[in-house]
Amino acid sequence: MKNTLSFFLFLPIVLLLTALSAEENLSVSYILVDFEQGSVIDRKDNAGFLEQPFPPGSLIKLFSTYAYLRDGGDSYKVLLCPETSIGSSIPPGCWYRPGHGYMDLIGAIANSCDTYFSKFFTLKRFTLLVNVLNQYQLITGSDFETLLALSSAQKRETWIGIGKHLRIRPVDLFFAIYSIVGNGSIYERSDSYLIFERKMKTGSNFVRVIREGMREGSLTGTTKTVQEIIGMKKVFCKTGTATYFFIEEDYRKTHGYFIGFCPYPEPQWGILVFLLNGDGKAAAKIGATILKDLLKQEENGY
């Protein structure tokens, strides 16, 4: 009798979850922007995922870079990412088990190296990171307190983009990264227009390192596929694969991000792709295809 009751109670919930999974598999969200014109060229975000906070994955490494440099960190410092065995923890191991070898900060951004970023993590720098996120209005006041109260191990994970302790709206992350690599302007999106919000002061060394790291990523690193798909256009990009956290955590799935700017080094266009259920590589392929179409239209004078 008890079992029968449970069956009837749980049936509607199971059906609802099945429906959600099918929807999730199909969901691709993106926004394509012309920063020079201040306009949104194209946008698809049926479920509004771009406006909801999710773990940022490796995109956070751009802000960790910012915090490291603000602390006087040396971008030319060369560190080793050694081979690690499958099953060893990240950090101090890297997601890339064969190891990235020796590299400087630009190489670490290009390869999204967990080990490099983990090696220059300190609690002081984490506090700087939280302050940077706050300046760019990526977190709320209560997030600020929560992040500073994390354990050292959780802070280190957050610093390299692992876990669910930090969550940011993808669209905010996109505009904040544009602000760093672009002209310092932060925008808000309103329908098909961008509303200029304010200008951030960014040191030229931060801009150079982050731009060059993203550029190197498209030439030899994690976003090489983008350069291959669109040809020799001057793009610079970063991917992210994040701990899945939508309503609740699910270790079997990940979120995928792609953020790309074109041309390098002064971007006119930018794209953000967010996959609720996917990885950075899949998001990069979608982003590259959209950018390729845009550049073809531009060449043809549309």
Interatomic CA distance for residues 261 and 167, integer angstroms: 23
113 is a site residue for Zn ion (CB under 5 A): yes
Under rule CB under 5 A, residue 112 binds Zn ion: no
| Partners of 269 in beta bridges | 34, 262
Instruction: Return d(Cα 182, Cα 156) in angstroms, integer.
Output: 28
Least distance to Zn ion from the beta carbon of 300, Å?
41
Residue 110 lies near Zn ion (rule: CB under 5 A):
no
> Least Å distance between CB 218 and Zn ion?
18
Residue 81 makes contact with Zn ion by CB under 5 A: yes
> Given the rule CB under 5 A, which of 95-103, 133-141, 146-154, 279-287 is the region that contacts Zn ion?
95-103
Give 83 or 145: the residue with its C-beta nearer to Zn ion: 83
Among 94, 138, 147, 180, binds Zn ion (CB under 5 A): 94
Q: DSSP letters of 201-253? A: ---HHHHHHHHHHHHHHHHTSTTHHHHHHH-S---EEEEEEEEEEESEEEEEE
Stretch that binds Zn ion, among 111-119, 168-176, 236-244, 287-295 (CB under 5 A): 111-119
Piece of 22-30, 89-97, 186-194, 276-284 that binds Zn ion (CB under 5 A): 89-97
Pair of tokens at residue 78:
């060369």
What x-and-dash track marks residues 37-76 binding Zn ion by CB under 5 A? ----------------------------------------
